[in-house]
Structure 1
């Protein structure tokens, strides 16, 4: 597909990165199920390994099917490049890896997916990294948390599980003023609802497992580079600005400019961490992206209908959907997510923990799974599952208290979803 910056989102989600297969003319992107690629000659091989020529060496690094997906997601996000990997958690480590060193820290929002909080608060300590958690609605506290050892600021555009919308413009202004990149997890919003790069984000990460694939078949992750950050403006990011010994002193930012982070993610990140996306997973996700806008429109429409019904039910304490006029985050929808507040929110039941368990067990259409962003409606009691590693204070801060159920609204008929919720609430409150 030729460069066409004026093409609309619906066109780009189908065509970006994809071209008819030159060998067969196949219109759908083939699954290149291969580990290695034949070099033209010894000189060609040397040029590839020296990063003097772009091409395929080994599928831990690059694969033609995955390359199409990388270009498509980067295009939809408005980025310079992207690196796909094996999961959303892998994408988070891939994003931090070129930025961090022992003793460095990342300042992260308290409103994050429970697994991310665990990864940041526990696992990254083994690398000598630290995470400082701050309520990003408190901009003064965020600014105060950034110190000389901070190498990134991290948040979610639409936070999982509560569906809270982050004021990305305010957060990026703070991170840019401090000279550190803003990393935004855009999984819950997708590039159809939110473009973090337009709001100042340096990097965007995705769990492609969720809405981008949309069918609950494969796991995957992606890191999108805006190409706008000056990695050489200070000595904070030597992996990108200083000579790289493994490539004879090559400086990634000096050599690759706006694509420095992307090339580093492949040449160093995937080479040494090995968090590779397999080509079949990329194929499933490519097919999913072709209907992304259609699905997100229905997700938003259904979520608004269901959340409104739940908010008016006497058995419900409160609903966190940002699309509701009652939400304190409703005023951010038009600015950050102008096409809708997504399909994810939580509902707090008056019966507390026990009612939540009965409610989840009584649903028929909703699937009780540890996932979100599927065409199917999904439900989970976060406090006893995805956020169970956290103490109650952390659960409350993340919007996953004991009386809270997370709901991911699918694309079924809204009236059928409401009927299922109604009968489950009746059993939970009996």
Structure 2
């Protein structure tokens, strides 16, 4: 039995009965009534703001094919990843599924994922992706095909900054803190109580503290693990610098925990916050409350750099299946330059090198960039980032993110000392790394 099967066998058996009939139908290599090869695809609704879009894309693919039919099982973000992991461990999971960029090292070590060269991808195909696609490499091979990238950026209210005398967003940690403090202090004196800054995740969207924290840790020059990925390294000089900086916003009463960064931003109660650029779709959903009143900028640079967390999603396929060719056909379609250009509509970052796509695709992407003032800042931020942080993060990923959700918030808002908070993360992650 593989390591992945051993690790999840108990929960997989318990959960198998709860999976829908459609999720378990048509096994690998089976054929539909019209003789097409069936590919089972499990996905969360990655098209931000429009949950039905993934189904529409699958329907479009099926209509274009004569030999392949994709059966979609739609999952929810709250437990979709767990359902996939449990089903794959039990041997009745999908042929193709959605996974975070960086992939899951448990799947990689267990040999569960098919390398892309077994799915019909050539070296020339892989050369078309941005260098950040290295986040989906393992032992020299690519196992995930990027749909799009995410990158933490600064989102700010232009109207609020202007009302307090600021004509441009902050470019450094010092400028960020000074501007945020001015807005918070002066607005409170005027009876408006506008928070100059909120760290995304110190609010009702707790999971976001992970991308926030890893961005600021990176900017302080820190790392998540040792170079060999064997040891957690957050309790470091850089880790303490990052947490001390974040903590100062609350000890100096610039920011308040419990206030939603996004909701406060839309209502005009928060002036600035950091998050993946895909949050733009949520800001735009604010309608008249936000229209013409906000913009995006690269992250303020820390003591060492202006880097930020990289995210996004890829497609992966099950190794050893009887329908790898059909799975590859679907993956190459859904993660094609043509589809990735469409994903830019929800501000997903195009994962291909524009010098290596067709003129038609390049023209489409160029038009989208030209028509939206957010894109230059997003691409500037993307170019500051490397695969390193994501490659570290995929080792003991779930343990790390669970530990950070508890310890980062506790350390930043003063419930725990900085040293205790960072040590707690390292202790939990080290145990998980040793268990691998």
TM-score, length of structure 1 as denominator length: 0.25
Q: Which has the higher helix share?
A: 2
Structure with greater contact order relative to length (CA < 8 Å, sep ≥ 6):
2
